[in-house]
Amino acid sequence: MAPICAEEPRKLDFISHLEELRKRILIILVFFALTAVFAFYKGDYFFSLFVRPLRATTSRLIFISPTEAFTAYLKIAFLVSFVVTFPVILYQAWGFLHPAFPKDVRNRVALWLFLSLALFAGGVSFSYFIAIPAALKFLIDFGTGIAEATISVGRYISFFGALVLVGGTVFEIPVVIGLLADTGLMKSETLKRKRPQMVIAIMILAAVITPTQDIINMLMFALPMVLLYEVGVVVALGIEKRKSSR
């Protein structure tokens, strides 16, 4: 009976962790749903923000199916809700994981989470203020000599949302590299040695994740990704120096 009794606290501890995880996921889902409902209710306001980059090049938006405008508003609501919920996701993840870290590590992990949030906001801002207007200007100006620009509202919102999410995601590169270096899974010398291969991989990745196939839009994200990779190398080097000094 002794082995069975010894396993019982482990089972209870595992079940309690699952219960806590379930509660935290439920909090995220409830917050996401409430934010999405609010964003859909304020759909006209958010729609005007979404189409602002487009107004500099064209003001014509159409919908080509009865449900397209409604679906576009749903996409807007979900995108706004995800961006607003992202800090809550990080906070709940930290709340669930931080007891597993030693006390001297918790401050570093909290710093990484804060940097992740800041870089995500920077990536979203980069897409909204730089990448999307530049891509729209290039693409619409290129097509103006061929045909009149009449853009479907559903496809524009999909294009807008894809670039926003791509921007927020790729700006996390320094955080990923920094975490790998902090845990000892990656060295700065390896990052430097693999730089040519990584640049090629970034170019391929940028071509895959961008919603259009033009070279300008691809470079619009590839160049910041290369720069962020170099920032990650510097961060990894700083972490290694700090560890060696200790």
Going by pLDDT thresholds of 50, 70 and 90, the confidence category of residue 245 is: confident
Is 150 a residue whose pLDDT tops 60? yes
Is 209 a residue whose pLDDT tops 50? yes
DSSP class per residue in 90-107? HHHHHHHHGGGS-HHHHH
Instruction: Give the span between the Cα atoms of 175 and 113, in whole angstroms.
Output: 8
Q: Supply the pLDDT for residue 35.
A: 96
Q: What is the mean pLDDT of the chain?
A: 84
8 Å CB contact between 127 and 168? yes
Q: Supply the pLDDT for residue 42.
A: 93
Q: Which pLDDT tens digit goes with each residue over 12-54?
A: 567 777 888 889 999 999 999 999 999 999 999 999 999 998 8
Query: What token pair was written down for 227?
Result: 């720069």
Q: Supply the pLDDT for residue 203.
A: 87
Model pTM score:
0.83
Tell me what the mean pLDDT of segment 225-239 comes to: 89
Domain boundaries, the chain: 1-171, 172-246
Instruction: Give the span between the Cα atoms of 203 and 198, in whole angstroms.
Output: 9
Tell me what the mean pLDDT of segment 73-92 comes to: 94
